[in-house]
Amino acid sequence: MLATIKSSITQSLTQALAQVAPEISHPILLERPRDPAHGDVACNMAMQLAKRIGTNPRALAESLITNLPDNPDIAAVEIAGPGFMNIRLTDAAKQSVVSEVLKNPAVYGLTQTHAGEHVMIEFVSANPTGPLHVGHARQAALGDTLGSVLASQGFDVYREFYYNDAGQQIANLAISVQARAKGLGVDDPTFPDGGYRGDYIMDIADDYKAQKTVNGVTATGDVDNLSDIQAFAVAYLRREQDLDLQAFGVAFDNYFLESSLYTTGAVEQTVKRLSELGHTYDEGGALWFRSTDYGDDKDRVMRKAEGGYTYFVPDVAYHVNKWQRGFTKVINIQGTDHHGTIARVRAGVKASDVGVADGYPDYILHKMVMVMKDGVEVKLSKRAGSYVTLRDLVEWTNKDAARFLLISRKADTEFIFDVDMAISQSDENPVYYVQYAHARICSILEKAGVEVSANINAAALAPLTAKTETHLMKLMSEYPDTLAAASNELAPHHVVYYLKDLAGAVHGFCGSKTERVLTDDLAAKTARVHLLAAAKDVIANGLNLLGVSAPIRM
């Protein structure tokens, strides 16, 4: 519902309450009726206030309706059930969304509700040990779209990629490249245990021996220099991941290196602070963190008896760093396999006593993706050696299809990415269905020959009263609330659901035999052209938030 209409109805109900019970002050909550046949707006304030006022809900609802001031947006108010007030809007109120959109299409649905609030979203954060896989692709789509959704509500959004460029996996990468550079095949019995076997390792080895320069790192070609091999391999894979993300339309404001937490002493400082605050103890030669004091199910080892820190310690240091950089709201998007780290990271940051609130940081955990192609599950990629890559998805389909489909479900639900469906030109393909709605409107507007006015007046929109027209206008008016809900719930899939519904309304209207746009009735034609022009803009806005194109022809 448009903010102006919501405001006017709220004001009228407030005035009615002041007449009925001047001593009562109560916030007005407006909702959508579950059944559209019951009206356009619902309010249950009579049920909430009846006991305080000393009457029954239906009687209070009747009194409130009687005292409602005249409002040009309200056509009727009906009482339902034990005391719900169902409000029906006037035709002019419903039609006003068309002029609201066309007045300034680029900002329709956007608000400054959270202006001045900073939020960091950390996502993808892949180890630079191989190509990005389909799980990273889902993260990329989720994180980038969520960033756009939050920005639509006024947040200052900062996207960060955390490179895990330290630890055993990086060491395994180096010895894998070294083995290939020395001529060992992946099936050779002396090939390193835990080594990486994808074709990309051979590509890195070849470029290393050719002494190429990648991302500012020049290979020495010395196959015995493991340190040089590691530096080159990490630089090589960082470049490959960057190219994949560029092809996917994802950009980051910052790339943070895990290794920097060690070189700057942040890890040591974090451990020292936790120890000084009394949150650690020694046992069995290891240093333990009392994470159970902060809700974890058991205490955690920080420094192993044989030396070296466990993997959650740099994670704590990293999140203390985020807080110190001024990010009081942080959202991490990770796979469900990271579920066990949430409690200990939150505990470590809280115990560091830097001022974070409980529950810092926020997490969105996503389940992995199954890829189907030609009716069978695809498990392997020659490029990666063991999994389907982000690049595979884009090459098999396209950026638009991959991004749209990967956020078309809640993050915590299983998802099957059907390659054949993703490239099909049918109503069963949701991205095609939505993009075609936009292209279909463009085609109709081109044929109509009516100039769209950004200042269309209410009288010109008056013919828009048919069921298909009012349904389309109703959905367009829900776009701002959809963005607000997607932001508040950290649920970008709401935008996909909304666009599919809006596209369905467009196709329903365009397929109507009675509400034809290309008609000799100039008044009806003009009104319907502006209706479709507004719908086109809303679809384009929504697709833009998803990082998906809005084609004018298909």
Separation of alpha carbons 437 and 472, rounded Å:
12
| Inter-CA distances, 340 with 343, 344, 345, 365, 516, Å | 7, 8, 9, 11, 57
> Cβ contacts of residue 458 below 8 Å, gap of 6+?
92, 95, 96, 99
Using the predicted structure, report yes or no on whether residue 95 has a pLDDT greater than 80.
yes
| Inter-CA distances, 205 with 31, 195, 221, 231, Å | 61, 14, 9, 12
Separation of alpha carbons 137 and 226, rounded Å:
31
Separation of alpha carbons 411 and 87, rounded Å:
35
Contact 46, 64 (CB under 8 A): yes
Look up residue 299 and give its amino acid: D
Separation of alpha carbons 60 and 45, rounded Å:
9
Separation of alpha carbons 343 and 341, rounded Å:
6
Residue 533 pairs in a beta bridge with none
- pLDDT (0 to 100) of residue 384: 62
**pLDDT tens for each residue of 10-67:** 999 999 999 999 999 899 999 988 888 889 999 999 999 999 999 999 999 999 999 9
- pLDDT (0 to 100) of residue 2: 81
- pLDDT (0 to 100) of residue 38: 87
Q: Tell me the helix, strand and coil percentages in the chain, rounded to 5.
A: 50, 15, 35
Using a 10 angstrom Cβ sphere, with 0-12 exposed, 13-18 middle and 19 or more buried, the burial of residue 247 is middle
Instruction: Please give the distance of CA 329 from its chain centroid, rounded to a whole number.
Output: 16
Q: Which of 130, 218, 237, 221 is nearest to 178 (CA)?
A: 221
- pLDDT (0 to 100) of residue 200: 94
**pLDDT tens for each residue of 419-461:** 999 999 999 999 999 999 999 999 999 999 999 999 999 999 9
Residue 158 pairs in a beta bridge with 120
Separation of alpha carbons 233 and 52, rounded Å:
70
Using the predicted structure, report yes or no on whether residue 94 has a pLDDT greater than 80.
yes
| Inter-CA distances, 87 with 150, 262, 318, Å | 31, 61, 51
- pLDDT (0 to 100) of residue 381: 62
Torsion angle defined by CA atoms of residues 419, 421, 422 and 427, in that order, rounded to the nearest 10 degrees: 180
> Cβ contacts of residue 389 below 8 Å, gap of 6+?
131, 132, 133, 134, 244, 381, 383
Per this entry, what is the length of the chain?
A: 554
Percent with pLDDT over 90 in the chain: 91
The long-range contacts involving 462-466, CB below 8 angstroms and separated by at least 24 positions, are: 462/91, 462/92, 462/95, 462/527, 463/523, 463/524, 463/527, 463/528, 464/91, 464/94, 464/95, 464/98, 464/527, 464/528, 464/531, 465/91, 466/512, 466/514, 466/515
- pLDDT (0 to 100) of residue 551: 98
Contact 117, 102 (CB under 8 A): no
Contact 553, 442 (CB under 8 A): yes
Look up residue 180 and give its amino acid: R
**pLDDT tens for each residue of 174-216:** 999 999 999 999 999 999 998 998 899 999 999 999 999 999 9
Instruction: Please give the distance of CA 295 from its chain centroid, rounded to a whole number.
Output: 29
Separation of alpha carbons 278 and 295, rounded Å:
17
> Cβ contacts of residue 308 below 8 Å, gap of 6+?
none
Separation of alpha carbons 516 and 119, rounded Å:
46
**pLDDT tens for each residue of 241-282:** 999 999 999 999 999 999 999 999 999 999 999 999 999 999
**pLDDT tens for each residue of 495-547:** 999 999 999 999 999 999 899 999 999 999 999 999 999 999 999 999 999 99
| Residue 124 backbone class (left: φ over 0; alpha: ψ -120 to 50; beta: rest) | left
Using the predicted structure, report yes or no on whether residue 117 has a pLDDT greater than 90.
yes
- Write phi, then psi, for 190 (nearest 5 degrees): -95, 0
Strand 217-218 relative to strand 286-289: parallel, antiparallel, unpaired?
unpaired
- pLDDT (0 to 100) of residue 35: 83
Q: Which of 504, 535, 500 is nearest to 404 (CA)?
A: 500
Residue 41 pairs in a beta bridge with 87
| Inter-CA distances, 312 with 266, 306, 348, 351, Å | 13, 17, 9, 14
**pLDDT tens for each residue of 323-381:** 999 999 999 999 999 898 999 999 999 999 999 999 999 999 999 899 999 999 998 66
- pLDDT (0 to 100) of residue 444: 97
Measured distance between the N- and C-terminal CA atoms of the chain, rounded to whole angstroms: 31
**CA-atom Rg of the chain in angstroms:** 29
- pLDDT (0 to 100) of residue 217: 96
Three-state secondary structure of 469-534: HHHHHHHHHCHHHHHHHHHHCCCCHHHHHHHHHHHHHHHHHHCCCCCCCCCCCHHHHHHHHHHHHH
Within 306-377, where are the H helices?
Answer: 312-324, 339-351
Within 115-193, where are the H helices?
Answer: 134-152, 168-181
